[in-house]
Structure 1
Amino acid sequence: MVNRSAVLLIGRRDDVEEILFIKEQGYKVILLNTQIPLEDAFIADFPIELDLNQEEEVIAKALEISKRLPITAVYTNNEYRIILGAKIAEALGLPYHLSSEAAQNCRSKAQTRACLTRHQVSPIQYALIQSPAEILHVLSEMNLPVIVKPSNDAGSHMVQKCNTLEEAWTAAELISTKVQNWVGQPLEKHILVEEYIEGPEFSVESCTINGATHIIAITAKNTSALIEEGHLVPAQLSNQDSTSIQEVVIKALTALGVDYIVSHTEVKLSPQGPKIIEVNARVGGDQIHRLVHAVTGYDLRKLAFHIVTGGVFASAPRDTPVTDSAQIQFLLADQKGYVRLDKQAAQSIEGIEQVECSVQDGDYVVMTESNYNRLGYMIAHGVDGKHATLIMKAAKEAMHFFITMDQDGKVPSSTDKHMGVI
């Protein structure tokens, strides 16, 4: 039986698969986005362009649409639109959605930190400042290195690890000169300064339904200068460490008021135990959903949709896992220069599922400074008893990726060769 109701899809983040799998469930798709590509416009039932930063206008439009078409759920995986989606769901009186308060608690890194500290969930030293000069006082009470970052941006944009007073001042100064985040929303006035947490980094992919959180997977993360370099599912952890990470994440989600979503929580395993870095009230980016799907059978995007349409965990859609380990590796430029890579050689390695490059051999690139200007990625699945990490190692060697200032394509000497991060 075809469902005559509709789903409001806000600020679509991934490719058209989101639209397609919603339609496969029999729902009409109302797509609201600031700009809608032609491909999306053809597939969505009701594509509507409007400025998503004008929240009151968007909510009014959603209410207007609901008078003509019954809306069952609001769905978004876009970090910047989590609060908007929650507000629309509240305005429509929908039963299964993240509250706008919880959305704000997660979206604002300053509010996340304040809420976790208030509930004594993995508290760390932090301070909020509004000007670079305040760094002087902060660093009189907080040891270097520190992390300086905007409170409501994403993608590691303007996030800096600072080893000196000068670096912290410069990082705060950069943020203070910006008035908008990556999508044009006003930046919060407060700049977040946090103690730097030593230890390996992980993300926990989970879902919360009616107050109960289910851990789907723990992802091991590699970073380079705080830019995400790669992810591995599942993380190779002891039972004790896995349990302690899961416990602190569940406590954090409870403290923040998270419910009826799939979440992506970043954690560092410090010598003092797991510490929450960020809580994202949506499916993790960087193709993590593909790694999790391959290893566990759960498609996190479909799981998130299952939840907002009233589904319970016991009946969540699940496919047969295809591998016991999956890894993604990103290509980062550690300096400006010319790219050297052999995409076909990497693709020829058994177990490599995809090689995606935004550049070609010989292209000139600038240094990678955030997740937004990485140069591509490779995805590996464990196969025939070989772990995904071994597959990826072979692909990296085959690709022979590096950045050089030598435009004629000669392999540089060891003194001027930059292997770019892969």
Structure 2
Amino acid sequence: MANHPAVLLIGRRDDVEEILFVKEQGYRVILLNTQIPLEDAIIADFPIEMDLNQEDDVVTKALEISKRIPITAVYTNNEYRIVLGAKIAEALGLKYHLSSEAAQNCRSKAQTRACLTRHQVSPIQYAIIQSPAEILHVLSEMKLPVIVKPSNDAGSHMVQKCNTLEEAWTAAELIRTKVQNWVGQPLEKHILVEEYIEGPEFSVESCTIHGATHIIAITAKNTSALIEEKHLVPAPLSEQDSALIHELVVQALTVLGADYTVAHTEVKLSPQGPKIIEVNARVGGDQIHRLVHAVTGYDLRKLAFHIVTGGTFASAPRDTPVTDSAQIQFLLADQEGYVRWDKQAAQSIKGIEQVESSVRDGDYVVMTESNYNRLGYLIAHGVDGKHASLIMDAAKEAMHFFITKDQDGKVPSSTDRRMGVI
């Protein structure tokens, strides 16, 4: 066992099966995470807790481990740990990995925008500021509305669409008062102010191996106040629009230097054509990998692992698709109040694969302000000739989800505020 190869799993994001499928491929798992729950510690071969924000220490630790255990690959799907994983792979001299430069190009939204603009790939109006006062100058040259967001956070945290100068100032001030992102990393001083792009939003799930990018699926996305509400695979696009999006994503990944990685690229289809919103050098969140797997047969997490262990696209693992459409719907609260819904009614609809929630009927909740405090989700598969969206519509009607200020749980009138099911 001393020479049995191992994979270094950094900042595991999903559930325990992420460890299990690595072990199923015949590798031992060295798990590095800031906190490791007991169930992970039991399954991983070498669970090691340390502060992943201390990146130099983590790289040093990985080098020490490699002297005792042969490390074949570094694997992570955690947005906050993409750069760390790349640095470790480079320090270990591994062959198949995303470069730290490309990882940083994708991780820093400021660097992403600067790189794309420099290469004239999907250029848009934007500015990088470091104080709210600079908003005055920016908005003298940029039309409202604008998007204000931090450069190195994730999950739509502190990302705001601003319709007035006052809103833009407040959004920038909020970011500036924060010193850390969601996982405790120092926030970059850069604050992005970008023109607001009109049009439907999509994400492109792809992989790049030895410089060749393969588009696996395009996901249609719906958002409310920039919080992601639902995703649908495949996106209902014309062949022409699909081709334009394909071409743009390949160009973006090329100039950013992304290679040996699965990518999740967010795009809006504006009246002037597709525009890049963000590029993430990892598997998309929000259970998108499950939708893609159901429709295409490709498990994006396993594909990412296949790539960093030297696999080709031709030899990538692929299962038989189980449906022609798949959708996820998130449950959101548009106000603080009491949750009212019938979970069992949603579960009874044929084609509903899963209903997950952190709340029960009657629970008191606060308003959903980012992807991090949504209340749960439903996953639907197309079945018996019915599209997944129709299945989801039936489930939403059956469960009758709403938030009410009234503790007695009376059914709201048509004018009451409802959200989370669209």
TM-score normalised over the length of structure 2: 0.99
Give the unaligned 5+ runs of structure 2: none
1:129-208 pair list within 5 angstroms: 129-208=129-208
In structure 2, how many angstroms separate the alpha carbons of the residues matched to 1:293 and 1:316? 13
1:5/1:72 contact within 8 Å kept: yes
Partner of 1:379: 379
1:44-63 pair list within 5 angstroms: 44-63=44-63
Which string of whole-angstrom CA distances, capped at 9 and with x for unpartnered residues, describes residues 121-148 of structure 1?
A: 0000000111111000000000000000
In structure 2, how many angstroms separate the alpha carbons of the residues matched to 1:399 and 1:193? 39
1:30/1:45 contact within 8 Å kept: yes
Partner of 1:359: 359
Aligned residues with identical type, % of pairs: 89
1:406/1:412 contact within 8 Å kept: no
Partner of 2:75: 75
Q: CA RMSD in A?
A: 1.1
Partner of 2:407: 407
For residue 420 of structure 1, give the secondary structure of its aligned residue in structure 2: coil
- Look up the equivalent residue of 1:418 and give its one-letter code: R
Structure 1 residue 419: Cα displacement: 1.6
For residue 403 of structure 1, give the secondary structure of its aligned residue in structure 2: strand
Partner of 1:117: 117
Partner of 1:332: 332
Is 2:383 the partner of 1:421?
no
Structure 1 residue 409: Cα displacement: 1.3
How many residues get paired? 421
Structure 1 residue 2: Cα displacement: 12
Structure 1 residue 3: Cα displacement: 8.4
- Look up the equivalent residue of 2:348 and give its one-letter code: S
1:218-237 pair list within 5 angstroms: 218-237=218-237
Partner of 2:126: 126
Which string of whole-angstrom CA distances, capped at 9 and with x for unpartnered residues, describes residues 143-176 of structure 1?
A: 0000000000000000000000010001001000
For residue 26 of structure 2, give the secondary structure of its aligned residue in structure 1: coil
Which string of whole-angstrom CA distances, capped at 9 and with x for unpartnered residues, describes residues 32-82 of structure 1?
A: 000000000000000000000000110000000000000000000000000
Structure 1 residue 408: Cα displacement: 1.2
In structure 1, how many angstroms separate the alpha carbons of the residues matched to 2:419 and 2:406? 14
Is 2:209 the partner of 1:209?
yes
- Look up the equivalent residue of 1:348 and give its one-letter code: S
1:2/1:27 contact within 8 Å kept: no
Is 2:346 the partner of 1:346?
yes
Is 2:36 the partner of 1:36?
yes
TM-score normalised over the length of structure 1: 0.99
For residue 408 of structure 1, give the secondary structure of its aligned residue in structure 2: coil
Which string of whole-angstrom CA distances, capped at 9 and with x for unpartnered residues, describes residues 282-316 of structure 1?
A: 00000000000000000000000000000000000
In structure 2, how many angstroms separate the alpha carbons of the residues matched to 1:75 and 1:421? 34
In structure 2, how many angstroms separate the alpha carbons of the residues matched to 1:376 and 1:353? 14
Give the unaligned 5+ runs of structure 1: none
Partner of 1:289: 289
Q: Which runs of 4+ in 1 moved over 6 A?
A: none
In structure 2, how many angstroms separate the alpha carbons of the residues matched to 1:117 and 1:409? 52
2:209/2:259 contact within 8 Å kept: yes
Change (3 A) 1:2 1:223: farther
1:227/1:370 contact within 8 Å kept: yes
In structure 2, how many angstroms separate the alpha carbons of the residues matched to 1:106 and 1:243? 23
Is 2:299 the partner of 1:299?
yes
2:2/2:68 contact within 8 Å kept: no
In structure 1, how many angstroms separate the alpha carbons of the residues matched to 2:201 and 2:312? 30
Partner of 2:313: 313
Change (3 A) 1:364 1:75: same
Change (3 A) 1:111 1:319: same
Structure 1 residue 27: Cα displacement: 0.2
Is 2:11 the partner of 1:11?
yes
In structure 2, how many angstroms separate the alpha carbons of the residues matched to 1:413 and 1:197? 34
- Look up the equivalent residue of 1:372 and give its one-letter code: Y
Is 2:223 the partner of 1:255?
no
1:102/1:258 contact within 8 Å kept: yes
For residue 314 of structure 2, give the secondary structure of its aligned residue in structure 1: helix
Structure 1 residue 390: Cα displacement: 0.3
For residue 313 of structure 1, give the secondary structure of its aligned residue in structure 2: coil
In structure 1, how many angstroms separate the alpha carbons of the residues matched to 2:175 and 2:233? 33
Structure 1 residue 193: Cα displacement: 0.1
Structure 1 residue 412: Cα displacement: 3.0
1:96/1:310 contact within 8 Å kept: yes
For residue 103 of structure 2, give the secondary structure of its aligned residue in structure 1: helix
1:201/1:267 contact within 8 Å kept: yes
Partner of 2:389: 389
Is 2:264 the partner of 1:264?
yes
In structure 1, how many angstroms separate the alpha carbons of the residues matched to 2:265 and 2:259? 14
- Look up the equivalent residue of 1:78 and give its one-letter code: N
For residue 356 of structure 1, give the secondary structure of its aligned residue in structure 2: strand
- Look up the equivalent residue of 2:259 and give its one-letter code: D
Partner of 1:64: 64
2:2/2:69 contact within 8 Å kept: no
1:146/1:168 contact within 8 Å kept: yes
For residue 222 of structure 2, give the secondary structure of its aligned residue in structure 1: strand
Which string of whole-angstrom CA distances, capped at 9 and with x for unpartnered residues, describes residues 184-237 of structure 1?
A: 000000100000000000000000000000000000000000000010000000
Structure 1 residue 420: Cα displacement: 2.1
In structure 1, how many angstroms separate the alpha carbons of the residues matched to 2:132 and 2:404? 35
For residue 407 of structure 1, give the secondary structure of its aligned residue in structure 2: coil
1:122/1:276 contact within 8 Å kept: yes
In structure 2, how many angstroms separate the alpha carbons of the residues matched to 1:188 and 1:118? 21
Structure 1 residue 413: Cα displacement: 3.2
2:159/2:226 contact within 8 Å kept: yes
In structure 2, how many angstroms separate the alpha carbons of the residues matched to 1:403 and 1:331? 10
In structure 1, how many angstroms separate the alpha carbons of the residues matched to 2:118 and 2:198? 23
1:3/1:27 contact within 8 Å kept: no
Partner of 1:241: 241
